[in-house]
Amino acid sequence: MRIADLLNVEAMDLDLKTHGKSDTIRYLAKNLEEVGGVENLDALIEKLMAREEQSTTGVGNGIAMPHAQEASVKSPTIVFGRSRRGIPWQSFDGQDARLIFMIVVPEGGSSDHLQALASLSKVLMKEGVSDQLLAANTAKEVVEIFQEHEEVEDREETVATSVNNASKESVATQSDEEVPFIAAVTACPTGIAHTFMAEEKLKAAAQAAGIPIKVETNGQAGIANKLTQADIQKASAIIVAADKQVEMARFDGKPVIIRKVADGINKADELLAQAAQAKAPIYHADHQAANEEIEDEEAESWGRQIYKHLMNGISHMLPFVVAGGILTALSFFWGINSADPSSPEYHIIAQTLKTIGGLAFSMMLPILSGYIGQSIADRPGLVLGIMGGILADPSKFSGFTPEGIFENAVPSGFLGALVAGFLAGAIIKLLQKLFAWMPKSLEGMKSIFIFPVLGILLMGVLMLFVVNGPMGAVMNALINAINSIPQEWGILLGFVVGAMMSIDMGGPINKAAYVTGTALVAQAQGGGSDVMAAVMVGGMVPPLAIGLAATIGRRLWSPAERSSAYVNYVMGAGFITEGAIPFAAADPLHVIPSLALGAGVAGALSMAFNCVSLVPHGGIFAVAARGVTNPMMYLIAWLVGGLVSALLLNFFRRRSGNRYE
């Protein structure tokens, strides 16, 4: 598919006057409608914006590629727009977009869609192309730029085929050391732009160095140019430039350079030179280097690594928390004591629900610590982490009798499980270094026998005799401190944790508030937490506010925005704060403060009304299941907070001049 043939010259605009991402998308789509390229404009805009909500299409270097499939699009089309001053697009590199390529295809034309994206990515990565497009004076010049580069690419492919055929004959008579062969894998979370940009850069660097290379792309349409076992076997080294998980076990025993996909784009020459000299640690299927850890000159900061490991644990923990919390809350339908066989309220269904929910909820700590350990040290870390989470509160699991020296043992709870997760990774790293002398033939013995036995023994001793006491004391002190806060200060605390839930919606600040509330619920042993109630209502406000704002100030929101905004009613009810992220990303300076203020008000009101959440998740469903005390006042706190934010949002939209029919 030729890019030049897809460019719609009539809809092109080389001097965009739009200010934001959504305005630009609407403008370019409208241009396409005016030249007869699409019949249902609103549906196309809605799908383009929905794609932006998944992740930004700003691929960096001043380029954005919004794209979508829509049944009313006549044929695969690229609408090009250029902004002299740049448009905020939340691009991966933080740069404003100046070159915008809107790619639209008819429903079902996924191969055309992805092929166009891949081709565009490759051409735009070529040196000088962006500068030429910025300097073009007419639409015809833009088309000619792509025609010229595509013709050059065709010639290069022909030459490359001839060179490869010739090199196969010469390589047969030369050693691998004389003619290195490089294998590479590129992948990014969306599998569209960066994947192919990295591929193009690595190929260009290899061609300049005269080194044969094969690059496998893990794109949205699947794996292309897949590395065979023969490719891997003859490669001097493997380059993995990826921001998502790729198949790694096949590289066992080969030198492997593991870097982020951005390095494949920006540091292709460096990676290729390193791979050509096989300057990389030997990779093993257990993800460990033989003699040293994988090095990266621009390694993540300690804080970033800790956050990444913690989020791995929390993301795996959440399904257990949600399922356990909701099932437990549902058991309260028959009465607060209906799960107790000795109570007059007893009901067999309530007992069943609470038993299953309680078992699911009891897995919270082992899963949290287990997946923190797995993030640090892979499968061996998972085993030790799970055991560490169990040992953080062993009374929840059968087989533990608090007798003898453990008779007065204090569980460390949530904080102990956090420590256990990182401790699991550290223990495995230590054991790997201590047993690095063992021959590779005994590699399996380490992960099956040595690491689990010694690791669990070390974890058990440390948790029971070192970690639980201090962490349990800290946890109890935290709870006592919160319980001793005067009512007026409690309202302030509610405002703070509620606002924290709306500042970055799923980011570190949000997670800090949520983790605190969850820890308090877990430690309360069924008694619930007013802080958790404030946290949850604070997280429920942003999506509600978006929905209310679009309903109240209908003319201030475009049809596509209204369609997306209304879905947020459901998200807010379900305590899914992330539903507001696309709107916050489009206008952070106005949206985030508005949402944070309303969420803070809701959190403060929740504390003032003495609302207590017995479960750490569920939103309106937890309220309906009697998982929150004073449910009517809690709903009022939620609605008031949402209304405050909605009014502020529409105030700023009105000042910005947003008007739609």
Please give the positions annotated as active site: 67, 188
b/e map 449-487, b = 16+ CB within 10 Å: ebbeebbbebbbebbbeebbeebbeebeebbeeeeeeee
d(CA 179, CA 182): 10
Residue carrying structure tokens 């102990």: 416
Write out the DSSP string of 530-585: HHHHHHHHHHHHHHHHHHHHHHHTGGGS-HHHHHHHHHHHHHHHTT-GGGGHHHHH
367 in Cβ contact with 386 (< 8 Å): yes
Residue 87 bridge partners (DSSP): 97
d(CA 544, CA 639): 8
d(CA 15, CA 24): 12
At 128 the three-state DSSP class reads coil
Closest CA to 560 of 30, 21, 50, 31: 50
d(CA 368, CA 398): 19
d(CA 476, CA 128): 62
246 in Cβ contact with 240 (< 8 Å): yes
Residue 239 bridge partners (DSSP): 184, 257
